[in-house]
Chains A and B, each alone.
Chain A
Amino acid sequence: MVTAQPELTENSTVREHVLDNGLRVLVQEVHTAPLATVWCWYRVGSKDERPGLTGVSHWVEHMNFKGSTNIPRDKVKGIIEQYGGYWNGYTWIDQTTYTETATRDALDRMLFIEAERMSSCLYDPADCESERTVIISELQGGENDPDQLLDQELTATAFRLHPYRHPTIGWLSDLQTMTRDDLYGHYRRFYVPNNATLVIVGDVDRDDVLRAVDGHFGGIESREIGPRFHPVEPEQLGERRVTIAKEGTTAYLKIGFHGPSLTDPDFFPLLVLDAALTGAKGINLWASFRTPPPQRSTRLYQALVNSGLASAVSGGVVPTQQPFLYTISATVTEGIELARVEHAAVHAIDRVRAEGITEDELVKAKNQLRARLVFENDSITNIAHQLGYFETIASWRRYPTVAQQIAAVTLEQVAAVAAARFASSNRTIGWFAPSASHTPAGGAVSDGRAR
């Protein structure tokens, strides 16, 4: 049965219901296009994995597209496609989530798929084996990108204890040894209604949606998940460094600082500070990568890119459940020493640490963030993503307050966050230093016949 809890937020458009089995349902009507989107979120990500099973959450995500009791393996594809729809899923440190967006008349099928996924995926042993090599291929594709490789090593160096230290895709040795039972056990433990949030946004009627949700999910039983092991990362006492020396053409620099979780009072001041340093990205992981941030007048763009030291710079603050990293990344211009780029970046960071930002920078950062919040909510898929994301790491009720919290950030708060977080003892510096022996790809070519 559906338990009505019609508590309205400031914008009065999101309706929340919790089923008896603990499934939290968020519905928002948006009637601008004849579409509907569903996101089903689970509070399980790579931080819930122990050594030996790193990557299990992501692998489980892959397995959950491979048939269920009522969706035979060869009928998975086509259910959403026949409505012109798009489906996908992703796994990260705090969450695993699945989505479909299609014409509104696909809503019942989307809910059906998500209910099946929650309750009865197959985990055929042959499919588990076949997917092992797909995932290793995904890992190796990532390793082809030096920037991604450096990010993985930097994170593993910055964290000693907290499971945020291992990559979401997992370590290769774990991917080679994990078993079907490991996968299935993880699935059965975490894929329960009391660990999930279901978000529906679009050209739908709220009452119809809730009736349909009850029909599809009401019969799924809740189950205790058991204790999670999330040790507190000890305070970092001194700068850490990691250098990857590998063949390549281009050098990369990353500087990571232990940052605040979403619910830490430092979060929004850091968001503003990042906008002043590298330009505002907004806070929608699903949307923000689509357009580059406005950044040409920012401190680090001026110091690194306009000075000719780097060809690109970026900064990343992402809302997370527990304290993660704030990372600054730069691609070193051909012919420039990595050390020079590091020096210039650290100089700019130390300056903001000592002086904070200016009133003009504060105004500009807030303008940027205000605009990005509009841009990143331009589709029902993006709107629904944010509700589910916030609910999974904290509470969806925080989302409507984001604009206010950004507007309320003061110069003093930004300065305090810079002073505290940008201490050298809190940072990890990563280099990707390409070795000189590299032969440019164009120069080493065979004609394709056996040699």
Chain B
Amino acid sequence: MAEDPILSYAPAPEDRSVASVAPSYGLFVDGEFVAPEGEDHITTVNPADAEPLSTIAVATRADVDRAMAAARRASTGVWSTMPAAERGKYLFRIARVVQERSRELAVLETLDNGKPIRESRDVDLPLAAAHFFYHAGWADKLHFATPGGSPHPLGVAAQVIPWNFPLLMLAWKIAPALATGNTVVLKPAETTPLTALAFADICQEVDLPPGVVNIVTGAEETGQALVNHPDADKVAFTGSTAVGREIARSLAGRNTRLTLELGGKGANIVYDDAALDQAVEGIVGGVFFNQGHVCCAGSRLLVQESVADEVLAALKERVSLLRVGDPLDKNTDLGAINSAAQLDRIRQLTEVGTQEAADCWTAPCTLPERGYWFPPTVLSGVTQAHRIAQEEVFGPVLSVLTFRTPEEAVAKANNTAYGLSAGVWSEKSSKLAWTAERLRAGVIWANTFNKLDPASPFGGYKESGYGREGGWHGLEAYLNG
């Protein structure tokens, strides 16, 4: 955005020295950082300037075996037999240390992921700490989460998480697993491993018994070795629907518990009686939050035809105000795209959308020369038949469709293979409730969007996956009985 002559925001960069990045990292197995068996390494880069940050190990099958064995020993030896309240107290400790080290972790997350420091500071970190705090309290109250049952842990959980909310997704996986008495082997995404490795350090700091949490880094092969490991009692995966489908296939016929949190193509329905100024905010936050790298993003705007022009004009005006640039600047609204590969995918799908006759508008902003960047983009005139209305872009690209009646809005919203999230905007509460009841999606936001809370279950219908994370509903995935 061009600097304003009257009131400008001078650069307000966060101090990156608060986070220390080692030149290379090993694996975290059995309470120690260990060298990987193989020689393979991956370089993780800062997407804002494409400069290398660190080198991480690629765990081999043997490394995964070692981590799984450590998790098994910890499971039977200490974690599942410990008094539940004591397990809870470890989680409370973790929650507190995450709070205490939140500035360092926020900077690390922004460096590795490219998201604005405002978001890692105000969203990712508080939510990650809250997730541990919330689940800590469940540890000795599990019988209230499974009325009539006698809950006990499954054993060892193999967990694979994505790069869009690295530490938060780690919290979503590890907190419920530990609270329910399971031990874990977790693989962070290869482009965003740093906060998971910092978390390993936190496990040491709180004296968590060795082997309860193991972190293995690597790419696709490491992930496959982990989710297909014969000793896994539970597999939890967050990522693309394509990979989730493969995991479901490979685990088919095995008695391994599986939860999948996959892609989405969330509809954001704006009725003509909505509070339009706030609806516009919700549309913007819904799709441009975290550069649109959000599985529950409201990437399909369904706006009632009678207010479509007005909403679109206000939307473009508002999007033009987004400040795109240095993720470490406290005034940045939209940061860098996480990787070159993801940038290619966004470009490609946007290109397809434009060719398919959609009207493509991009915000007037100057993108940095180095690193991976994509401007906020609005594609209007989209119909259900367009690929851009069906495929997940996972980037700052909004498709705009219109509808005439509530029935049509619901039909269009549900006309997708996904079913993760949806938004509804109206000042009429009975219509909100009517619409929410008919939407086939796991999370419905009424007059808000992209709200997350540890107490609130999250997860999808249809090909957005199965299982829930958060609330007592999320504990079920880690318990027998």
Bound pair (A, B): no
